[in-house]
Structure 1
């Protein structure tokens, strides 16, 4: 697949996808099924980035931005706790400050409401798109659509839960309030200290997020997609399309799709001239291989601010946000802190024997919306910046990208891409 300089660009591929995470791979499947010749490039094996270690939760209920005005009051306490739910590496502050400034500006009423509308449009379409994609590759059993639960422990949290339920209902998010006895009936191993919670029936989880990527890769290869382990170093537009310069040669195609998550900004700037305010929320998980059967579905703690998802290989504890860029070494103590956070949530504490910690990069934009777009006269497609919702929104993003790449009739309504366009920055 390496392309000599004089090669006819139309002989190699219709579209080169840069990024083999859940977004890029889902897009590759959809593009190939439309008859396009697809090549996927990534410096890692498919699914080994953020897609490997996400919480596995299809979080369709999360229609609100990653921050709201209440964070301003809590920020000093949050940032002075090195093991708290949000950490900022002070050495990274000069680079992060412009991003945080944009984040604060997006907390104003009008942009805040635009973000909610944009997130809600994608999330409302996400489960249906996932069902279609999994049916297409004959793997519907990978998804468990059995809801998720947000629990609270303190009596003084009841007002916050009621307020959140009202906000969710205002956005037409299906949600039910569960008393403590309903929580115990559904999840009997949870502690008696649980006061109640909110149940979200239109959510689900994957038993193995990495396997989902692998199954999609298998389906894509069956459609003729080539996956190559190359690092993309640069790119430029030309008369026939796009040329990508990699560590192993040059590739050309009519179109390219930039879907390399937190690493997408440099390539986007090279091809479009647009500097996007993309940063990374470094997320951690702790996988507990000896914990099976503790929970029937994903459970999040309101006060402790982390999520627990039952998976085929055990129980995954995930959460925490760290701003420290792409280059600094992981602080794996933050992953182990997740086990300490779980203490007291169950009648018997979780077994952390042989547990494995992990850290990955969540690509985040300051308005909490992804970029999904077609630019440069259709030569460049963009699909990145999905923050905590990459897994949730991958399948619907793939449908949107397929429509942008090669418009064709479709039998289901797709979200309007206007809120996700590149030119909003």
Structure 2
């Protein structure tokens, strides 16, 4: 009989795994978090810092078919597919396109909206719980456009978002200049999203959650998980230093979740990674009051305590290919013309991380195998946004006492593993 040493083993020390571990430990459970890296050193380290509650539409649309040749040819384009990875990616892209049909598309929008509408409130609860509400700024965000011919696109997007009850205001050029005077006077206007926020230091958020989790008894083990097996008592997790036994396991290791999910549930999940890049500009403080995204250039700029972070671009090249850091530096070139004075790249640092994406743009949040296997992965671009509400959903699966707090949470139905 295995020696059960923990109630729950969390595989993955990113923002979602750590948030879940803290919530579960606060229910009196013995929790261990396992990851080959230090907490927060995966995709959570370099995200854009934007709590993107306005993003209720899938990660792609049918225009991706028209863009496919350019994706294969342009190594610096905003959406790139490594031609060597095409055979691996083709089944995923096929499923993505099938999910853009009317019925699955509407299911995706409903699922994203259900999570996003509750994300900010969940983050307020979590940050209040660790007494660090100062880490989150809820000051809105702005999507700007430069070309007069883009105005119909902006107005159509506003109409679609209002249909989904996303708070959004159309700003003219004067309003953009008043709120962000360092932006170029050539900008035509934009959409302002008042119910969005951003973190001034996303990595610090993970560190603060880790500190609170440790204070609540959570253990952190720096090991690579190599597999696992179910048994009568729970789950045995194989690591580089031996086996670790727990009553339940939570798979929350982002883009690396598919293999362990298959080993423990027998389910092959169509999980791929959108490799994202950022460029951190430590000399650029006080340029922007809130995150600003460019409609035409397709990247985001977020003010942080350590400077200005330029983030974005999507690259499909899998988990093994080395990063193409020229794509990070391309973000600075994209910023040219958006400000009255060019941004400084002095002491700038590039970064690449793996966003975990499923072809219907929804995460997996579920429990299987009589509750022995919990799942929380596949949040694509919205892992930071949805981490706190995901943690509350996982907590409620495990602990009926959590339901007595009274907050309204989404149903897990749209996020079930068996939808694949």
Scaled to the shorter chain, the TM-score interval is over 0.9
State whether structure 2 residue 249 is matched by structure 1 residue 277: no
Q: Report what 1:410 is aligned to.
A: 405
State whether structure 2 residue 350 is matched by structure 1 residue 346: no
Contact kept? 1:287, 1:316, Cα under 8 Å: yes
Secondary structure in 2 aligned to 1:177?
strand
Q: Per-residue CA shift, 1:149-181, capped at 9, x if unaligned?
A: 000000000000000000000000000000000
Contact kept? 2:280, 2:349, Cα under 8 Å: yes
Quote the Cα distance in structure 2 between the aligned partners of 1:278 and 1:76: 23
Runs (5+) with no aligned partner, structure 1: 1-5
Q: Report what 2:223 is aligned to.
A: 230
Secondary structure in 2 aligned to 1:14?
strand
Secondary structure in 2 aligned to 1:102?
helix
Quote the Cα distance in structure 2 between the aligned partners of 1:37 and 1:218: 16
Quote the Cα distance in structure 2 between the aligned partners of 1:107 and 1:249: 44
Secondary structure in 2 aligned to 1:377?
coil
Q: CA deviation at 1:7?
A: 4.8
Quote the Cα distance in structure 2 between the aligned partners of 1:79 and 1:116: 28
Quote the Cα distance in structure 2 between the aligned partners of 1:407 and 1:244: 26
Contact kept? 2:23, 2:391, Cα under 8 Å: yes
1:21 is aligned, of 14, 38, 50, to: 14
Cα-Cα RMSD: 0.8
Q: Report what 1:190 is aligned to.
A: 183
Q: Report what 1:421 is aligned to.
A: 416
Quote the Cα distance in structure 1 between the aligned partners of 2:251 and 2:379: 13
Alignment of structure 1 residues 8-407 onto 2, 5 Å: 8-9=3-4, 12-407=5-400
Quote the Cα distance in structure 2 between the aligned partners of 1:206 and 1:25: 17
Contact kept? 1:79, 1:86, Cα under 8 Å: no
Contact kept? 2:261, 2:267, Cα under 8 Å: yes
Quote the Cα distance in structure 1 between the aligned partners of 2:217 and 2:101: 47
Quote the Cα distance in structure 1 between the aligned partners of 2:314 and 2:293: 15
Q: Per-residue CA shift, 1:66-110, capped at 9, x if unaligned?
A: 011233233333442211101111111111111011001101110
Quote the Cα distance in structure 2 between the aligned partners of 1:230 and 1:78: 36
Q: Per-residue CA shift, 1:5-57, capped at 9, x if unaligned?
A: x6531xx1100000000000000010000111100000000000000000000
Secondary structure in 1 aligned to 2:22?
helix
Secondary structure in 2 aligned to 1:294?
coil
Q: CA deviation at 1:410?
A: 2.7
Q: Report what 1:3 is aligned to.
A: none
Secondary structure in 1 aligned to 2:208?
helix
Secondary structure in 1 aligned to 2:20?
helix
Quote the Cα distance in structure 2 between the aligned partners of 1:407 and 1:351: 52
- Please list every run of at least 4 consecutive aligned residues from structure 1 whose deviation after the TM superposition is greater than 4 angstroms: none
Quote the Cα distance in structure 2 between the aligned partners of 1:260 and 1:7: 24
Quote the Cα distance in structure 2 between the aligned partners of 1:7 and 1:100: 42
Quote the Cα distance in structure 1 between the aligned partners of 2:391 and 2:153: 36
Contact kept? 1:59, 1:204, Cα under 8 Å: yes
Q: Per-residue CA shift, 1:131-150, capped at 9, x if unaligned?
A: 00000000000000000000
Quote the Cα distance in structure 2 between the aligned partners of 1:7 and 1:159: 63
Secondary structure in 2 aligned to 1:254?
strand
Aligned residues: 418
**TM-score, length-normalised on structure 2?**
0.99
Contact kept? 2:14, 2:206, Cα under 8 Å: yes
Quote the Cα distance in structure 1 between the aligned partners of 2:161 and 2:84: 37
Quote the Cα distance in structure 1 between the aligned partners of 2:248 and 2:222: 19
Quote the Cα distance in structure 1 between the aligned partners of 2:63 and 2:178: 33
Quote the Cα distance in structure 1 between the aligned partners of 2:399 and 2:36: 27
Quote the Cα distance in structure 1 between the aligned partners of 2:354 and 2:70: 24
Quote the Cα distance in structure 1 between the aligned partners of 2:275 and 2:70: 20
Q: CA deviation at 1:406?
A: 1.7
Quote the Cα distance in structure 1 between the aligned partners of 2:44 and 2:75: 25
